Chain A
Amino acid sequence: MGEFKVHRVRFFNYVPSGIRCVAYNNQSNRLAVSRTDGTVEIYNLSANYFQEKFFPGHESRATEALCWAKGQRLFSAGLNGEIIEYDLQALNIKYAVDAFGGPIWSMAVSPHGSQLLVGCEDGSVKLFQITPEKIQFERNFDRQKSRILSLSWHPSGTHVAAGSIDYISVFDVKSGSAVHKMLVDRQYMGVSKRKCIIWGVAFLSDGTVISVDSAGKVQFWDSATGTLVKNHLIANADVQSIAVSDQEDSFVVGTAEGTVFHFQLVSVTSNSSEKQWVRTKPFQHHTHDVRAVAHSPTALISGGTDTHLVIRPLMEKVEVKNYDAALRKITFPHRRLISCSKKRQLLLFQFAHHLEVWRLGSTVATGKNGDTLPLSKNADHLLHLKTKGPENIICSCISPCGSWIAYSTTSRFFLYRLNYERDNISLQRVSKMPAFLRSALQILFSEDSTKLFVASNQGSLHVIRLMEGSFKHLHTFQPQSGTVESMCLLAVSPDGNWLAASGTSAGVHVYNIKHLKLHCTVPSYNFPVTALAIAPNTNNLVIAHSDQQVFEYSIPDKQYTEWSRTIQKQGFHYLWLQRDTPITHISFHPKRPMHILLHDAYMFCIIDKSLPLPNDKTLLYNPLPPTNESDVIRRRTAHAFKISKIYKPLLFMDLLDERTLVAVERPLDDIIAQLPPPIKKKKFGT
């Protein structure tokens, strides 16, 4: 594996924002997650829960509701009173419609997917017709006294239940009038609370309305008579979310105590048809409020203030005991937030609204393997660059020479030149960016920092030549005819001749920079690409996919390399394929062409192509090779995958020079420490 001096960076003060809504789409098996900063992320559950798309957040656009409509259309509504539809191909916002009812608290798509209902601050429930292009206001339902916090359609589409403060209304969709008003008990553990907020409702096909409220109750109502049928007191705090499975045989609720409860419809006796709802298992995977839950056919999905997205498979629904049967906890985005200038040993950290540039510390001390070396010079925080405007940063990059920084928001692209005069740094914005450079999904500098590659959200790729303080637009690669898919990942060869670009689903395109034309397209694969890199000298393109497969493609030969074919034939080790998180970064050792360095959030791996591949019987995660063991044994047990799990959660790892690595970690405890305190619970014996 070789010995490296590792910069163990823990000063990346990144805190993901809390999850506000989750929406599961059964047809495409995708999950939309919105965060408190307005970011919307799309996870592909079929592709190993990979976060394949994201829409950057906006300060004024706090999402309160998220839902999928017919034809894979995603809508969100928020406190700015707008309903937004997202363009999942171009990864931007298609349009925003003001509902004119004040802040929107809830939204629901009709079972047929053609109508959209929003509940507003002023107590109005507004029905919108979803047209192929837009949405169109149809009419208002009877206006209620207070804000509509939750909405649920009856599966037949004839009735709607709306949760408000202290009561639940049932509307007839045809007439738009309230049929029933079901008052909810304000009592909370014998004490009368001021108000009882209905955080969620669910309308079942048998007419039962399930409500969850701020008093910690889960209540079952008969919508035909408007009466309370059953009451489950499950928490001492708010129950904030509910999601029902499609079969209506189970549902899940999330509480402010961080507990997720599963309810199941269980037959009373084995030979009677009578069934009852029974609270079964509680899951405590969160420390804070569970703001949103979703119920996929095989899993319970929950997310909340503690920023984790937890996917808890239902064991009885999982057919085979494989990777899908494991609990998933997704905390960090599956994209790169850090870039590194190798020459000047700089790290660029991307936050939602600012960028930070740090210079790595250095040491003069030497030590044995495993020693912690004392720093002779501490890491410097060189730059804190705040964005203008309310939009979040989409992507950012620092050039390898360290003199350029580029970043982009949804509407603007920024390029800065950094001047170093000994210890002083001056920042100079490159003005007059061309009109087409408005928004970028990915930015990359060439190895010699003379070229800038920008993937825009129209699917086009811009190549810009950088000069001292100015730039020149060289070329734009237009997307393949017929596709509008945006490119999210870029890789450039160290010699600057080749550029590889990948979208979310289609294959990887390789462009020849010299001739400014498309060189070839790597055959598309079922799973999205998570990382790309082109090896020096050989110009082999290494591609990592979300199913943990790694391919090596020779660009000059336009075919997969021999090694790649061998490993595909033999297959990866089963433990390798069972890893949780996608590979987010690939790099190469300049002196060792046979090595591929890659990492995910929990491990760092060097693949040595010269060594034999491991089979399922060999130990994949070998500890650091013991020094006293004889060479023979070591050689016999050695295989191509050298894995280190010392650094986790690992957000970024790259090679600075031949003997130096930089690893950026973000301990979860540090994130939790920055979150608001959770609800205090008395624990027995403490």
Chain B
Amino acid sequence: MVEEDSVRVVRCGGSELNFRRAVFSADSKYIFCVSGDFVKVHSTATEECVHILQGHRNLVTGIQLNPNNHLQLYSCSFDGTIKLWDYIDGILIKTFIVGHKLHALFTLAYVFQLVSVKLPKSSSQEIEAKELSFVLDYINQSPKCIAFGNEVKFALVFYFVYKISLQFTLSSSKNKKHAKNNFTCVACHPKEDCIATGHKDGKIRLWRNFDDDKKYTYTCLHWHHDLVMDLAFSVTGTSLLSGGRESVLVEWRDATEKNKEFLPRLGATIEHISVSPAGDLFCTSHSDNKIIIIHRNLEASAVIQGLVKDSNIFTGLMIDPRTKALVLNGKPGHLQFYSLQHDKQLYNLDIIQQEYINDYGLIQIELTKAAFGCYGNWLATVEQRQEKETELELQMKLWMYNKKTQGFVLNTKVNMPHEDHITALCFCNAEKLENPTLVTASKDGHFKVWILTDDSDIYKKAVGWTCDFVGSYHKYQATNCCFSEDGSLLAVGFEEIVTIWDSETWELKCTFCQRAGNIRHLCFGRLTCSKYLLGATENGILCCWNLLSCALEWSAKLNVRVMEPDPHSENIAAISQSSVGSDLFVFKPSEPRPLYIQKNISREEVQWGVFVPRDVPESFTSEAYQWLNRSQFYFLTKSQVTIPLQKAEESLPTTPFYFILGKHREQQDEKINEALESELVQLPLTENIPAISELLHTPAHVLPSAAFLCSKFVNSLLLSKETKSCEEIPEDVDMEEEKESDDSDVENDFTEKTQDTNDTDLGEDIIHQLSKSEEKELRKFRKVDYSWITVL
């Protein structure tokens, strides 16, 4: 249980979906993918995330269906545990503690064993089972280098040993001749003694007869020009799927070179390929954090798109005022709109509108700046490409939101808006606003004011943006710009100097200079604090100026990396960077004492942060957390591997399904802070009867069977007889529980049970696992029971 009044950093989304191969459920209805510390269950038909299996405390490194019960899923993690889940209900059944970092997980159909790979420094492999424990050395880090055949354990171990020796002999002997002959991935034929290996030179080799030291032979398939990233055999083994950097899924039918089919233009490097056990679906995981579900006839049917993680996020984090989606750099040349609530990408806006050529060493056009203005009506973007020092290509685009098409339409394109790099871009978001204004600041020493003007001619009515004013200050480079909340003032930072301009007349009003290094961040206070201007400098000084007195109000020594004002309150969040980690400070400009300090929110450098307004305001009473009432704070760290978005405040996603299946109570327990009453008060009226609303709001495909919902639904309507029904149901629950526990004993005889979940929870969840027939039986039983009572 979480401590009542603490604010936690929660990794809430944007994790890699493509870290490991995705796994299909046995009936191909669901697809499982690892996502940071969680396992996500998506519906293959609708792409919708059905469950998030959470419980691991570190990165999940492998998932596999339980071969003995295809309704269960194993997962392993760097936290050294293997967990068994019921994915239909999304609950944890068991936890096995291994105690080593687990890098991959394999399960075998014929032997009841759970094979896992741990890779501490000795690189050994261990099979965690009752009495068997094989340890094999020299296994490559990546799980792609391991695959299991269709044979029972001896053959398997043999394969394994042989595979390794093969790997070593081949790679060592051939490395001399062809430097690019390294193995990249391996797959085993499901029916035959055949191993497919992918190589760095783009070749696929199909090895046969490999149990013979001399007579082994291979067939070469060559289409890929770059390394083969992953291989998978179809369920029947008649075709082999391969993918690589070409972003083309290749299907080799009958393993012949001439008989191949392609699914091209998948958008990004294929990193993993997996095949559903039913054989009707494939899926490919891509480097741009998406999973494409592909039909057997090579037609893409669904895309599960996570947060695209480009290595460089130039635009920072923004919130689209309309959709409340997070906006940042996405695919090359695109701006992605990402829903934080659902942890999924909403759409991509193609800004550069040019074919992306994926070639090493090519200098691409980069989307460097973007800003929303006028309540999401306008979007300004800046793209640049610099091949040489002197050859800068710069373009600014202004996009208007079209209500009809519900999308952004290019309105104005400005070539070379400045002579040098644009450093800042901001819209005037004042409410009165007779005409939209945009300010760009550039290294060429100017800031330009762009306004929307009438661009109508005899053909059509149109509007367009033109430059209205060019300002400069002693040939200093303009580094920042910022409008005050009411739009009356514009602050422009020129290296060490802050200049204040009147937005009506574009007159220089006053300047502030603290001589404490270049200005890194600049922002006006809001609401009651609108008379303050805040500036953070590179030398680690945070200054607050009073605009009325034109004097420094206070200053503090703080090496600010990120400074973000909350749009709905006076609060300003600043993240400082020290050698130990990043610290979060929340303060009001009016007083130098921070409202809230959280040390060490992240060990890595925080790159960007943003306040996201809440849909439904919370009401934390504790003074320290009041700043979270109206908004949540998200930030992004600079880790190349994962860029987790984090927010300070626990909030588990609560799908309606979650409520229905009895986790309501648990959920409430886990909610930090204020107790039930306050939350219930906030619930809308319909929510007073949760069952009804859940029934109505839940998508049909995620609803449990009607038979199951029925009693609950009826119960919820029977308000007066509440007590009676409540008595009856627990009786049933107990009986079912007993029965179920028997079943589970037969099914799997694990003795370790280290999970700290309470037994009632487990029992409740297992009920929902019952099949329809069992339910029917129970219902019959119940009827019999009743009759018997009446007879008595």
| Residues of chain A whose beta carbon lies under 8 Å from any beta carbon of chain B | 216, 232-234, 264, 266-270, 276, 278-282, 315-316, 684-685
Sample (18) of A-B pairs whose CB atoms are under 8 Å apart:
A216-B258, A232-B256, A233-B256, A233-B258, A234-B258, A266-B208, A269-B150, A269-B151, A269-B191, A270-B151, A276-B192, A278-B255, A279-B219, A279-B257, A280-B208, A281-B218, A281-B219, A316-B215
- Residues of A contacting B193 with CB < 8 Å? 267-270
Given A266-B208, A268-B192, A280 and B218 touching (CB < 8 A)?
yes
Q: Is B211 an interface residue (CB 8 A)?
A: yes
Shortest Cβ-Cβ A-B pairs, 4 listed:
A233-B258, A266-B208, A280-B217, A316-B214
Besides A233-B259, A279-B256, 18 other A-B contacts (C-beta < 8 A):
A216-B258, A232-B256, A234-B257, A234-B258, A264-B208, A264-B217, A267-B193, A268-B191, A268-B192, A269-B191, A270-B211, A278-B217, A278-B255, A279-B219, A280-B208, A280-B219, A281-B218, A316-B212
Do B192 and A269 touch across chains, with their CB atoms under 8 A apart?
A: yes
| Distance of A589 from chain B, by nearest CB (Å) | 42
Contact with A along B186-223 (1 / 0, CB 8 A): 00000111000000000000101101101111111000
What separation, in Å, do the CA atoms of A276 and B193 have in the docked complex?
A: 11
The residue on B at minimum CB distance from A230 is B254
**CB of B509 closer than 8 Å to a CB of A:** no
Complex: chain A residue closest to B212, CB-CB: A316
> For B206, what are the chain A residues with a Cβ–Cβ distance below 8 Å?
278
Q: Are A278 and B155 in contact (CB under 8 A)?
A: no
Decide if B174 is an interface residue (CB 8 Å cutoff): no
B208 A278 Cβ-Cβ under 8 A: yes
Residues of B within 8 A of A279 (CB): 219, 256-257
Is B342 part of the contact surface with A, judged by Cβ < 8 Å? no
Contacts of B257 in A (CB 8 A): 234, 279
Task: Assess whether B219 is in contact with A278, with CB atoms less than 8 Å apart.
Answer: yes
CA distance A268 to B191 in the complex (A): 8
CA–CA, A234 to B220, complex, Å? Answer: 12
Roughly how many angstroms separate A662 CA and B155 CA in the complex, as a whole number? 65
A259 to chain B: closest CB distance in Å?
A: 11
Contacts of A282 in B (CB 8 A): 220
Q: Which residue of B is nearest A250, CB measured?
A: B217
Q: How far is the CA of A684 from the CA of B255 in the complex (A)?
A: 21
State whether the Cβ of B783 lies closer than 8 Å to any Cβ in chain A: no
Q: Is the interface of A mostly helix, strand, loop or mixed?
A: strand
CA distance A353 to B214 in the complex (A): 48
The reply on B225 being an interface residue by CB < 8 A is yes
Q: How far is the CA of A232 from the CA of B218 in the complex (A)?
A: 16
CB distance from A312 to the nearest CB of B (A): 14
How many residue pairs link A and B with beta carbons under 8 A? The number is: 54
Residues of chain B contacted by A233 (CB below 8 angstroms): 256, 258-259
Min CB distance B135 to A, Å, is 24
In the complex, what residues of B have CB within 8 A of residue A280's CB?
208, 217-219
Smallest CB-CB separation from A315: which chain B residue? B214
Structural contact, B258 and A281, CB atoms closer than 8 A: no
Q: Which of B212, B225, B256 gathers most chain A CB within 10 Å?
A: B256
Residues of chain A within 8 A (CB-CB) of B192 are 268-269, 276
C-alpha gap A270/B206 in the complex (Å):
15
Q: Which residues of A contact B220 (CB under 8 A)?
A: 281-282
CB distance from B149 to the nearest CB of A (A): 9
Residues of B with C-beta under 8 A to A315: 214
Residues A267 and B256 in contact, CB atoms below 8 Å apart = no
Give the distance in Å from the alpha carbon of A268 to the alpha carbon of B206 in the complex.
13
Q: How far is the CB of B310 from chain A (nearest CB, A)?
A: 28
Please, how many angstroms separate the alpha-carbon atoms of A266 and B206 in the complex? 12
Q: In the complex, which of the residues A216, A270, A276 has the most CB atoms of chain B within 10 Å of its own CB atom?
A: A270
Min distance, Cβ B720 to any Cβ of chain A, angstroms: 68
Nearest CB in chain B: distance from A618 CB, A? 25
Least Cβ distance of B111 to chain A in Å?
Answer: 17
**Which of A216, A276, A316 has the most B CB atoms < 10 Å from its CB?**
A316
Min distance, Cβ A371 to any Cβ of chain B, angstroms: 37
* A residues less than 8 Å from B258 (CB atoms): 216, 233-234
CB distance from B790 to the nearest CB of A (A): 63
CA distance A281 to B259 in the complex (A): 17
Among residues 252 to 288 in chain B, which have CB atoms less than 8 Å away from a CB atom of chain A?
255-259
Minimum distance in angstroms from B656 CB to a CB of chain A:
49
Complex: chain B residue closest to A282, CB-CB: B220
Residues of A within 8 A of B155 (CB): 270
Complex: A281 Cα to B218 Cα, angstroms: 6
**Residues of chain A contacted by B225 (CB below 8 angstroms):** 684-685
Residue from A233, A267, A278, A685 with most neighbouring chain B CB atoms (10 Å) = A278
Contacts of A316 in B (CB 8 A): 212, 214-217
User: B215 → chain A, closest Cβ, in Å?
Assistant: 5
- In angstroms, how far is the closest chain B Cβ from the Cβ of A554? 47
Complex Cα distance, B211 from A270, in Å, reads 8
CB pair A266–B256 under 8 Å, yes or no, is: no
A residues in contact with B211, CB < 8 Å: 270
**Whole-angstrom CA separation of A281 from B203 in the bound complex:** 13
Q: Which residues of A contact B259 (CB under 8 A)?
A: 233
Q: How far is the CB of A313 from chain B (nearest CB, A)?
A: 13
A99 to chain B, nearest CB (A): 38
Bitwise interface map of B from 723 to 763 toward A, beta carbon under 8 Å scored 1, else 0: 00000000000000000000000000000000000000000
A269 to B155, CA, bound (A): 11
Docked Cα-Cα span, A659 to B215, in Å, equals 54
* B256 x A281 contact (CB < 8 A): no
Q: How far is the CB of A507 from chain B (nearest CB, A)?
A: 40
Q: Collect the chain A residues with CB atoms within 8 Å of residue B217's CB.
A: 264, 266, 278, 280-281, 316
Chain B residues near A278: list those with CB within 8 A: 206, 208, 217, 219, 255
CA distance A357 to B218 in the complex (A): 52
Residues on B with C-beta less than 8 A from A266 are 208-209, 217
Complex CA gap A281/B211 in Å reads: 18
Residues of B with C-beta under 8 A to A268:
191-193
Contacts of A270 in B (CB 8 A): 151, 155, 193, 211
Instruction: Give the complex CA separation of A251 and B312 in angstroms.
Output: 55
Q: How many Å from the CB of A510 to the closest CB on chain B?
A: 48
Q: How far is the CA of A326 from the CA of B219 in the complex (A)?
A: 21
Using CB atoms, name the residue of chain B closest to A276. B192
| Chain B residue at smallest Cβ distance from A274 | B192
Of B155, B216, B219, which is in contact with the most chain A CB atoms at under 10 Å from its CB?
B219
A316–B211 Cα distance when bound, in Å, is 13
- Measured CB to CB, the closest approach of chain B to A641, in angstroms, equals 29
Complex CA–CA separation, A279 to B150 (angstroms): 22
A264 to B194, CA, bound (A): 14
CA distance A267 to B210 in the complex (A): 11
Shortest Cβ distance from residue B640 to the other chain A in the assembled complex, whole angstroms: 30
Q: Considering the chains assembled together, what is the distance between the CA atoms of A281 and B220 in angstroms?
A: 7
The answer for the CA separation of A122 and B734 in the assembled complex, in Å, is 91
B626 to chain A, nearest CB (A): 63
Docked Cα-Cα span, A461 to B155, in Å, equals 69
List chain B residues, Cβ under 8 A from A216. Answer: 258
Beta-carbon nearest neighbor of A217 in chain B: B258
**Centre residue among B155, B211, B215, B225 by max chain A CB count within 10 A:** B215
Q: In this complex, which of B155, B209, B212 has the most chain A Cβ atoms within 10 angstroms of its Cβ?
A: B209
Nearest CB in chain B: distance from A28 CB, A = 27
Interface string of B206-246 (1 = CB under 8 A from A): 10110110111111100001000000000000000000000
A611 to B193 alpha-carbon distance, docked (Å):
59
